[in-house]
Structure 1
Amino acid sequence: MLAQNNSATALHYNINRGDAFMGQQTEDRGHSCRNIAKPARKMLRKKKVRHDDALFRAAFQQAPVGIALAEGFHFLEVNEEFARILGRTKDSLKGSSWVDITHPDDLEQDLDLFESFLRKETSEYTFEKRFLKPDGSFASAMMRITDIDTENAKRGCRRHLCTLRDIREQKEAEKQLRESERSKRVLLSNLPGMAYRCDFDRLWTMRYLSEGCMELTGYEPEDLLNNHTIAYRDVILPESRDTVWEEFKHTVERKVPFRFEYEILTAQKTRKWVMEIGRGIFDESGEQVIALEGIIIDITESKRRLDRIRYMYTHDYVTGLYNRNKYEREKAILESKSICPVSVIMADINGIRLINDAFGHEEGDRMIAQTARILKECCRVSDLAARTGGDDFCILLPKTDRITAYQRMQVIREACVRYNATISNTDLQINLALGFGTVDHPDQNLRDAEKEAEDYVNKNKLFQGKSYHSAILSSITATLHEHSQETEAHAQRLWNICQNIGERLQLSQQSMEDLHLFSRLHDVGKVGVDDGILNKPGKLTPEEWRVMEKHPEVGYRIAMSAPELAGIAEYILCHHERWDGSGYPLGKAGDDIPLFSRILAVADAYDAMTTDRVYRDSLSKEEALKEIMTHAGTQFDPHIADIFIEIIEDDKG
């Protein structure tokens, strides 16, 4: 209202000044004219004041900005927008102090500015401030204080106009922008690589780099920005630079995103594979490239894994040779090209099953790997050697006739002989059944050559198999004697006892030969038992006993793998069974236990009791015989025990 009254007063002042001026101009017209004009002018003034007052009120209330008339620290009049911005009513604001509704964090600065305003150091000021709302929230506004009472104001009571512009949406947009920028910074800092923006030039002149630059390249971002220390082009391996640049140009010209893989050299001189993904940034016309933007990711490990997968697809993991997949693909290529002649050499390791059963699959794998090394060394550059099965190998020999293929096969045989000459008698020799076949004419296929080679291999296995099994068994026996108490002397003592019992039982010559072989190889399964268990001076733990008790089964599998031992396999399996059924591994009892196993049980127990062991001293013969008699009918076959006692008694006599 005060502002309106001031406006009206100013309006009256101007009109009165106009009246005086007009009066001076018409003074000579006479007194009667003045008396007639005076009421008309007065009526005109009143109408003008009412009209201006209405216009002022309409403009004040409907203004799109908040407006308040204040005197000192108190509001005199506010409009609707002012009240809306502050979340209050017009009536609650009239007469209230703006100090009470100013945010505490903004009050001190606001008071400093207002004091300066009161001291007339400035006639206006602008301040971004926050007002407290009744609900405890706050309103952000851009406030402008303007002097409207310059002539008669007293200190502290200066009238001023306060205008507010609601900047809530602006502040929210700024907040969202800050949050967006923060999120982008967090995202870029945690990206598995380096985000960048660079010029479209041969140097890859960098204008922006994320924090991942250091981890990826070994250089600080500042080193690469604007080519300060080094240009990114110089980080790319020299042999890749031109290719990558040409690819860049090609994709940018087509205005499509790019994705390239290439190698870089880090500051630490480490080679890395990277993938660069990005696109060109064009000007408004869409024709001029102004920058490249994208991300560069370290894919070194992914490359290695992929290379490993590709390697495993074509290679055998035990030997490093090609596998059957690769062999079949190369074979198909040779057949499609109708190349002649082509030869195939096949190799099969003799006795691998026996080796696996006796020494375990690790030892079998070692023999397979050593065989692969020999074959690879014997191959020419043009040959392809592959492991096509468990113990089967094939070598493709392009443009190789029969004579040359046979010569290559002989080279392999000689290499095996040289290897076997370098190993000890406890090491396993390599013995291969070899064969070859040749495609001489285009109307033949490699399957014909493979069939020919297979026939040779099978014939060789028939001729060589038995002798090689004997060699393996000799190696097994030597290993057993070397690593356990199963000495040659022990084997001889056992045979002496078994032979005497067999003669008393009037066994046939063939049975005596089987009994002899059995007495020497009954503990063949111990070849797979750890030396620490075999030679342990103290009592075995339950777990160690479980390992030890498996040796009859291991021995059985070994015997079944060798045709010449198959006849004694069951005796080996049952040589720790007891007459009363409390033995292992099958729990057989009485006559269900093979005769030879019952004979050996007595002979082995007597020899064990009368021989010094690492964990006890030997018993006398009398004490050992007493133990045999005590356990006859429980541990031992009583009939065999009686025969053995008779033999010992006869020897005394």
Structure 2
Amino acid sequence: MWCGYEPEELLGKSPFEFIHPDDKKKLFPILKNYVNAKIKKLLTGKELPTTKRIEFRFKDKEGNWRDFQSTGNTVGNQLLFISRDITESKQTEEALIKSQQEFASLFKSSPDALVYTDEKSNILDINPRFTELFGYTLEEIKGRNIDDGMVHPPDKIDEGKRLTCEALKGYFYYETIRKKKDGTLFPVSISATPLVIDGQAKREIGIYIDITERKQNETMQKVLYNISRAANSPISLKQLYKTIHKELGTIIDTTNFYIALVNEKEDKIYFPYHQDEMDDNFFIFSFSTSNTLTTYVIKTGKPLLNDNSQYEEMINQGILSPGGSTTPQSIWLGVPLKVENKVIGAMVVQSYTNSNLYSKKDTKLLEFVSSQVATAIERKSSEEKIKHLSFHDSLTGLYNRAYFEEELERYNFSRYYPLGIVMLDVNGLKVINDTFGHSEGDRLLQHLSQVLTSASRQGDILARIGGDEFAILLPSTTSEEAHNFCERIKKACQQDIIKPIYLRLNISLGHTTQEGEYKDINSFLKEADRNMYQGKLFNGKSREKHFLEVFRIILAERDPHTSDHAQRLQELALSLGKRVGLTEYQLGNLKLLALLHDIGKIGIPDSILFKTYILTPSEWKKMREHSRIGYRMAKNIPDFAPIAQEILHHHEHWDGTGYPEGLKGEKIPLLSRIISVVDAYDVMQSRRPYKGAVSKTEALKEIKRCAGTQFDPQLVEIFLKIIKNNASREKK
């Protein structure tokens, strides 16, 4: 049975009835040649040539086309075709051709770089991506050995040969460095698959993938991780800056690198870290008024890539002011440092020699890591602030009591003996606070801390251990050296010329030295404290004298008439005081009151005190506060305390219409009533910003007119007699 037919079904029929129409066209020329050859034989007697092998499609009984291969030969006068069914082999061949076509298509269109080599590693083919990646065309490298160094750095050739041998054994994967035609080195992943023919690896397909971007991302993640880890480690902020610089150097050129931070409250930009080939000094400058590249980035909150020509153009447009070192080949790249959309500074890299060193890609790269850098800096800064505050006094910057006591425990061992302690107390801090406000008291403490720091040695431990108390630990310091240290501080205070004068230092201090005689720290501290208070007692009078002189100078500086007025007032007040029978103690207080009754005016603004026209109600209310201010000042100074009440009430009126408490008659302290009379008399005869001077006669008439309302009438009567008698003596 042939193609499903019985022999009798085919006998007598033309084979062309079963042959595919397209194949008939191929058979007709063959038969024509056969007939021509037969005729030629009859004429010449030569044998017919064997017919060519032909292939055609033959329809089987089921109507399917099957492939046949036939060879025709003459047998007598007949043409005999010997045919065999090649349908399966044809299908196999077509499948192979299709597979080869698909392979070629996949090979050429693969997004990965492919190279096809023989068993000796000679290149048979490459795909377009290989050309794109390495720069070589097939014509340039076909037949060359893949391991001859064209795609290998010199130190990777042996590695390449080893990998080729491994590839013939089976699939492998490897990451390494390879070289482009132009010499550029780049990271790749290499995998290879052997092609087995007749049971042996005869061919090899190598696959190369550029992993530059992936490696950059891995490096980036590593950089970010290392910066974050550093921020969370116990290293200092200074060490963190170095870590940031080192890590960024693995992803971008940081030969010239700096970090700038802004303090808007203090209106300044400073540079906590910088490395630069040309500039060594990075000065602190004003944030609001400066127009540098750095401030431009911080103010705009945007990155900036700027070469020298762009820089000069921005200067010409008035956007920037020239500053810092530049060259014609300079390029500058800065990105803002942001924490929760708040710009805290800028991070900058630059080059003076290669204007093409940085690109927009680097801008995006640096901008990407800047957030992590800013967060790390902010975290470490906050951590150091907290740490600093836990051991430092926030006002003076000196160590606090907790740290001082901790260090005292640490140093209280024989290897640090002799160990000195100085205890120091600020005299009159409360007076300054009450008179000029706590801000001025704070200035006094800050000023003292600066003086102490300048007088101290490296290794001395200075601390503010209370409101007005300071302590200094002096390791390996003899008692004589501690005494000399105290004298140095005293001298610095005596030579102090700070203004205003009330900030000039008046202190009490004492010291003691531990050489093993004090069994515990408390007894050691108590001894130093006792010596300090002993010094305070010995210097008590000079301390009061200091404040008296300070107040006198301040009043004189504010009103040149004050000094003469106080002297005249003392003379008149003492005359009146003696006539009314005051004791020597009272007369002493009256003399002091004459000098200090208006001390509270120190706390009144000049705009009110020296106003040349009528005060407004609010200004007058402020002016009236001077008596209470003076009272608070006086009561806090032991030698002035006895006249504090008199200062408070020296503006009370006999009829109760005065201030601040509206006292009436003899409820007003006597010394206050005396000062009220003599002060009014002298002031009326003196020129003031708000009035002119009157004559002595007019002043006396006004005093007499106000007797019983503003002034004590009895005191007025006595005072008028004193003035009359003085006038009589002057005439004689």
Residues 336-393 of structure 1 show CA distances to partners (whole Å, capped at 9, x for unaligned) of: 8985442211111223233333333333222221221122122222221101011111
Deviation at 1:226, TM superposition (A): 5.9
Aligned to 2:675: 600
Does the 8 Å contact 2:685/2:696 carry over to 1? Answer: yes
TM-score normalised to the size of structure 1? Answer: 0.55
Gap change, CA 1:305 and 1:415, over 3 Å in 2: same
**Matched residue of 2:511: which SS?**
strand
Matches within 5 A, 1:237-252: none
Matches within 5 A, 1:34-45: none
Structure 2 CA distance, aligned partners of 1:372 and 1:402?
23
Matches within 5 A, 1:542-561: 542-561=617-636
Matched, 1:365 2:442: yes
Does the 8 Å contact 1:340/1:442 carry over to 2? Answer: no
Does the 8 Å contact 2:462/2:473 carry over to 1? Answer: yes
Aligned to 1:625: 700
Aligned to 1:215: none
**Matched residue of 1:309: which SS?**
helix
Gap change, CA 1:469 and 1:358, over 3 Å in 2: farther
Aligned to 2:30: none
Residues matched between the structures, number: 406
Structure 1 CA distance, aligned partners of 2:569 and 2:632?
23
**Matched residue of 2:244: which SS?**
strand
Deviation at 1:309, TM superposition (A): 2.1
Does the 8 Å contact 2:393/2:464 carry over to 1? Answer: yes
Deviation at 1:526, TM superposition (A): 1.1
Matches within 5 A, 1:244-393: 263=244, 269-271=257-259, 296=372, 298-299=374-375, 300-335=377-412, 340-393=417-470
Deviation at 1:232, TM superposition (A): 4.2
The structure 1 residue matched to 2:493, chosen from 397, 404, 416, is 416
Gap change, CA 1:555 and 1:243, over 3 Å in 2: closer
- Residue segments in structure 1 that go unaligned for 5+ positions in a row: 1-24, 26-199, 206-223, 248-259, 276-292
Deviation at 1:204, TM superposition (A): 14
Deviation at 1:231, TM superposition (A): 7.0
Matches within 5 A, 1:145-224: none
Structure 2 CA distance, aligned partners of 1:516 and 1:274?
65
Residues 110-165 of structure 1 show CA distances to partners (whole Å, capped at 9, x for unaligned) of: xxxxxxxxxxxxxxxxxxxxxxxxxxxxxxxxxxxxxxxxxxxxxxxxxxxxxxxx
Gap change, CA 1:243 and 1:551, over 3 Å in 2: closer
Aligned to 1:469: 544
Does the 8 Å contact 2:597/2:630 carry over to 1? Answer: yes
Residues 399-452 of structure 1 show CA distances to partners (whole Å, capped at 9, x for unaligned) of: 3343333333333233333x33x4579454323222122222287222222111
**Matched residue of 2:447: which SS?**
helix
Aligned to 2:480: 403
Structure 2 CA distance, aligned partners of 1:404 and 1:499?
50
The structure 1 residue matched to 2:644, chosen from 553, 561, 569, is 569
RMSD value over aligned CA atoms? 4.2
Gap change, CA 1:332 and 1:580, over 3 Å in 2: same
Deviation at 1:534, TM superposition (A): 1.2
**Matched residue of 2:409: which SS?**
helix
Does the 8 Å contact 1:439/1:449 carry over to 2? Answer: yes
Does the 8 Å contact 1:578/1:588 carry over to 2? Answer: yes
Structure 2 CA distance, aligned partners of 1:553 and 1:376?
37
**Which amino acid in the other structure matches residue 374 of structure 2?**
D
Matches within 5 A, 1:448-597: 448-484=523-559, 486-597=561-672
Gap change, CA 1:470 and 1:204, over 3 Å in 2: farther
Gap change, CA 1:201 and 1:320, over 3 Å in 2: farther
Gap change, CA 1:262 and 1:493, over 3 Å in 2: same
Structure 2 CA distance, aligned partners of 1:271 and 1:460?
50
Does the 8 Å contact 1:384/1:396 carry over to 2? Answer: yes
Question: Identity across aligned pairs (percent)?
Answer: 37
Does the 8 Å contact 1:204/1:232 carry over to 2? Answer: no
Deviation at 1:519, TM superposition (A): 0.8
Does the 8 Å contact 2:593/2:646 carry over to 1? Answer: yes
Structure 2 CA distance, aligned partners of 1:489 and 1:369?
35
**Which amino acid in the other structure matches residue 520 of structure 1?**
L
The structure 2 residue matched to 1:432, chosen from 502, 507, 517, is 507
Aligned to 1:647: 722
Aligned to 1:614: 689
Does the 8 Å contact 1:434/1:457 carry over to 2? Answer: yes
Instruction: Please identify, of 532-541 and 424-433, the stretch whose mean Cα deviation from structure 2 is larger.
Output: 424-433
**Which amino acid in the other structure matches residue 404 of structure 1?**
E
**Which amino acid in the other structure matches residue 400 of structure 2?**
N
Structure 1 CA distance, aligned partners of 2:458 and 2:224?
34
Matches within 5 A, 1:62-73: none
**Which amino acid in the other structure matches residue 515 of structure 2?**
D
**Matched residue of 1:562: which SS?**
coil
Structure 1 CA distance, aligned partners of 2:441 and 2:664?
36
Deviation at 1:548, TM superposition (A): 1.6
**Matched residue of 2:635: which SS?**
helix
Gap change, CA 1:271 and 1:605, over 3 Å in 2: same
Structure 2 CA distance, aligned partners of 1:465 and 1:600?
28
Deviation at 1:322, TM superposition (A): 0.7
Does the 8 Å contact 1:339/1:442 carry over to 2? Answer: no
**Matched residue of 1:563: which SS?**
coil
Structure 2 CA distance, aligned partners of 1:306 and 1:652?
77
Deviation at 1:396, TM superposition (A): 1.5
Structure 1 CA distance, aligned partners of 2:229 and 2:223?
14
- Residue segments in structure 2 that go unaligned for 5+ positions in a row: 1-8, 10-174, 178-184, 188-211, 234-240, 261-336, 340-367
Gap change, CA 1:543 and 1:201, over 3 Å in 2: farther
Gap change, CA 1:492 and 1:230, over 3 Å in 2: farther
The structure 2 residue matched to 1:446, chosen from 518, 521, 527, is 521
Residues 449-471 of structure 1 show CA distances to partners (whole Å, capped at 9, x for unaligned) of: 21111111011000112212212
| Higher RCO structure (Cα 8 Å, ≥6 apart) | 1
Structure 1 CA distance, aligned partners of 2:524 and 2:478?
12
Residues 529-554 of structure 1 show CA distances to partners (whole Å, capped at 9, x for unaligned) of: 22222111122223322222111112
Structure 2 CA distance, aligned partners of 1:566 and 1:201?
88
Deviation at 1:501, TM superposition (A): 1.6
TM-score normalised to the size of structure 2? Answer: 0.49
Does the 8 Å contact 2:649/2:668 carry over to 1? Answer: yes
Aligned to 1:53: none
Residues 38-70 of structure 1 show CA distances to partners (whole Å, capped at 9, x for unaligned) of: xxxxxxxxxxxxxxxxxxxxxxxxxxxxxxxxx
Deviation at 1:602, TM superposition (A): 1.2
Residues 65-113 of structure 1 show CA distances to partners (whole Å, capped at 9, x for unaligned) of: xxxxxxxxxxxxxxxxxxxxxxxxxxxxxxxxxxxxxxxxxxxxxxxxx
Structure 2 CA distance, aligned partners of 1:554 and 1:586?
14
More helix by share: 1
Deviation at 1:597, TM superposition (A): 0.5
Does the 8 Å contact 1:555/1:573 carry over to 2? Answer: yes
Gap change, CA 1:509 and 1:385, over 3 Å in 2: same
